[in-house]
Structures are given as structure tokens and as C-alpha cells.
Structure 1
Amino acid sequence: MPHYTLYYFNGRGRAEICRMMFAVAGIAYDDRRLEFDDWEAYKNGFPGWCVPALEMEDGYMMPETMAICRYLAREYDFYGGAHLEMMRCDYISDCLYEIMDDYMRYFHWQNGRFRNNTAGSEIMAKDIECSDMRYPAYDMMWCDMMFYCCLETPFMDDPALFDNFPMLRALWSRVGHHPRIFNYLTRRPYCDW
């Protein structure tokens, strides 16, 4: 079994989906959390000077959240079996990542830009509401976990977020009550983001 080390800041942010996927897969890994103040000393050791980054046994360092997630989804069977299911899972996850990216830019107010993605969020929410997100052959898809991770902070800020979307609230509950995810959520370090 490969040994992994995940590098990210001391927060949920862009790495939480990776941590959740490791938890559901039952895979042990080193969770290296960096402090913002230490970033300048470490950044040259990471591809593209960015985190999250996943280090493999052979020292290979894989950057970028979505690349890491797709790798883990293939390795630990968090995709559907058919190409169309995989594409839908990628589409949903990519849309959620864009929402999270906008929210994080707003939250940290870096880059001086906040693109309001509300219309896209509502379209995607309706698409998820109309689709069958309960892939019966699979316990948990990576897009399910991505949904939870990307909307966790906005949901904490506004508990009425899913009031008009009962299927999304049900999905949120199903993911949060998955035994391995529930166990992970109850023991992870607390952070605002």
C-alpha cells in the first residue's frame, strides 16, 4: 500500500476533500499542516509554489486539488463504473470547486476579485436535484464528498442554505452521517475555514 503525505495550510480549504477521501477509503496518511507565517520558507519545495500537494512514496509531488482528487477517486473507487457516471461526477465536482474558489477568494479577500456565482450555483443545484445522486452501486462518490466539503463553510455561515433544496439537504445529511466521514468529522482539528 502506498504511503502518502498531504501538505496544506492549517485549515479545511482546498485540502479537506482529500482528507475526507482518505478517511472514507480507510487509508492512513501524514497530514502536514503549514502555518501561513511559515509559507515563504516552504513554498519553493512545492510544484507551482502551491498547496495542496500530495507526496507519494517515491518523492513525487502531485499538486492541485482536482488532480489529487481524481487520482484518489480512481485509486479507491470513488467514481462510477461507466464513463458517463465519471463525467457527471467530474462535472458536479468542478462546479462545486468553482463555487468554493469564489467563496475562498471572498473569505480571504485575496486577488481583489470576487465573482458572484449565485446564478451558476442555482443552476447546478437544480441539476443535482433532478439527477440521481444516489449511485446505488457505490457507497460514496467523490462528488458527494466534494459537495459536503465545498459547501461546509457557506452552510456554517447560513444554515438555511439548503431550505429550498430538500434533496441537497438530504445529500448533505447522508454524507455527514457516513460512518467513516462522521468519525473523521468528529476528530479533525477545528478551524474557521
Structure 2
Amino acid sequence: MSGKVSLHYFNGRGKMESIRWLLAVAGVEFDEYFLTTRDQYEKLLNDGSLMFQQVPMVEIDDMKLVQTKAILSYIAEKYNLNGKDIKERVKINMYSEGLMDLMEMIMMLPFLSDPKPKLDNIQSKAKERYLPVFEKALDGPVYLVGGKLSSADVLLLECTLMLEEKFPGILADFPNVKSFQGRMTQIPAISKFLQTGSKRKPQPDEVYVKTVMQVFNVTSLP
């Protein structure tokens, strides 16, 4: 197993994108191996590389890690992005899981035959349930927890950028969140990751959707 971190997923965002973000912020170089065929996926299954027969899978420190939250937690702990004590960690986890819930709704949109009702639902939940939490948390503090950059901050930036792609101007009523976003994008590692040519992935397109469906042997959209 190579000493360099290796990511196994599709050539698209999905659940791997938050992992790419966190590695980039931690300054960790990584290789990517993209699934494009059913045979590649079955090879990972047959090799015993996928504990629950799912990707993303990350090779790091002589381990093959699966389950997005577990992978993010390991990276955050390894690179000091997980708070200074157990109380900070649980706050980071609460913020992070809420953000992942919201982002997973957005991730599913390309796979829906009629995304319009879901779009409306996402927008209302973002404005009424999720963004108010972060607007309050950032009323004064520079970062969400403990006055120090954490994985929750990275996820919040990723999430706000995803929201603005779908709903331009959605942060207009959340000035603290918008200011936070501006501060975060000035961090050198983040600024670099946002530049053209980085390993950040674009919004999912038809090719991405078709590839995922073929690899997982899915024949129709919901």
C-alpha cells in the first residue's frame, strides 16, 4: 500500500468531496482512483476493500477506511482539526452531522427525475432549520468551536458554496455566515483548493450520474 493517501470514488463530488476538502485544508496530497466500470467496483469488493460494500474508500496510514463520517473524523483528529477536548469534539460533530444531512439532500438532486419539489424543500430547510444555527454560532466568534479552525468550519464553507450554486443570494439574510465564508476563502490552502485546476470537483453532470448508475448497476432514477 502506497504511503500517499489514495481516494477511491467517482470523478465527481458525492460523499468524497468533503474528504477532499478536509485533506486539502490539512495540506495533505492525495491520489485519486476513479470508478468508471462495474468491474472496478467488483474488484474492490472481491479484494475485501469495502467493509460495507460501499464507497468512498480512503487508503491512509496502512488502513482502508470506509464510511464518510469515520473518515472525516480520522482526518480531523490526525491533523488537529477536531477540537482540544471531548466537549469541543461533540460540538464539532453536531455541527458537522447537521451540515452533512443538508449536503446529502443536495447530492441526491442529480439522481431525481423531478428535482423541483426537492429543491424547494432544501431551500426552506436551509433557511429555517440549518443556516439560523450557524448565524447564531458565528455572532462574534471567528470559528464555530473553540476559537480555532475545525472540520466543522470546512464543512460549513463547502455547504454554503453548494447552497449558493443552487440558490444565489440565499445568504443575504445571514450576514455572519456570509462574513465567515469570506474569511474562510482567504485561508491559503482553501484559496488554492478553490482555484481552477485543483482537485475540487464541479457540480455533477449527466456523465457523472450515468457512471454512478452503471457502476452500481442501477437502471432507473426515482
Report which stretch shifted further, 12-21 or 116-125.
Answer: 116-125
Give the superposition deviation at 1:184.
Answer: 1.6
* Partner SS state of residue 7, structure 1: strand
Query: Alignment identity in percent?
Result: 24
**After the TM superposition, which of the residue ranges 114-123 and 8-17 deviates more from structure 2?**
114-123
Q: Which has the larger radius of gyration?
A: 2
Question: 1: distance between equivalents of 2:64 and 2:40?
Answer: 14
Q: Within 1, Cα distance between the matches of 2:69 and 2:105?
A: 15
**TM-superposed deviation, 1:167:** 0.9
| Aligned-partner SS, 2:7 | strand
> In structure 2, which of residues 148, 161, 168 is the aligned counterpart of residue 152 of structure 1?
161
Q: Is 2:74 the counterpart of 1:63?
A: no
Alignment match, 2:198: 188
Higher relative contact order (CA closer than 8 Å, sequence separation 6+): 2
1:32 corresponding residue in structure 2: 33
2:23 alignment counterpart: 22
1:49 is displaced (CA, Å) by: 2.6
Residue matched to 1:123: 129
Distance between the aligned counterparts of 2:147 and 2:173, measured in 1? 28
Cα deviation, 1:22-57, whole Å, max 9, x if unaligned, reads: 12211122122333xx2x112231332322111135
Distance 2:68 2:85 in 1: 23
| 3-state secondary structure, aligned to 2:194 | helix
Structure 1 residues 57 and 87, CA gap change in structure 2 (3 angstroms): closer
How many residues of Structure 1 are paired with residues of Structure 2 in the alignment?
186
The correspondence of residues 163-174 of structure 1 with structure 2, limited to 5 A, is 163-174=172-183
Could you list the runs of 5+ residues in structure 2 that have no partner in the other structure?
45-49, 205-222
Question: Who is 1:134 aligned against?
Answer: 142
Query: 1:83 aligns to what?
Result: 86
Q: Which runs of 5+ in 1 are unaligned?
A: none
State the one-letter code of the partner of 2:53: W
Deviation of residue 176 (structure 1)?
A: 2.0
Cα distance between partner residues in 1 of 2:72 and 2:78: 10
Corresponding position: 1:4 with 2:2:
no
Q: For residue 53 of structure 1, what is the aligned residue in structure 2?
A: 57
**TM-score (structure 1 length as normaliser):** 0.83
Displacement of 1:175 in angstroms is 2.0
Asked if 1 retains the 8 angstrom alpha-carbon contact of 2:8 and 2:56, the reply is yes
Give distance in 2, aligned partners of 1:152 and 1:51.
24
Q: 1:105–1:114: 8 Å Cα contact kept in structure 2?
A: no
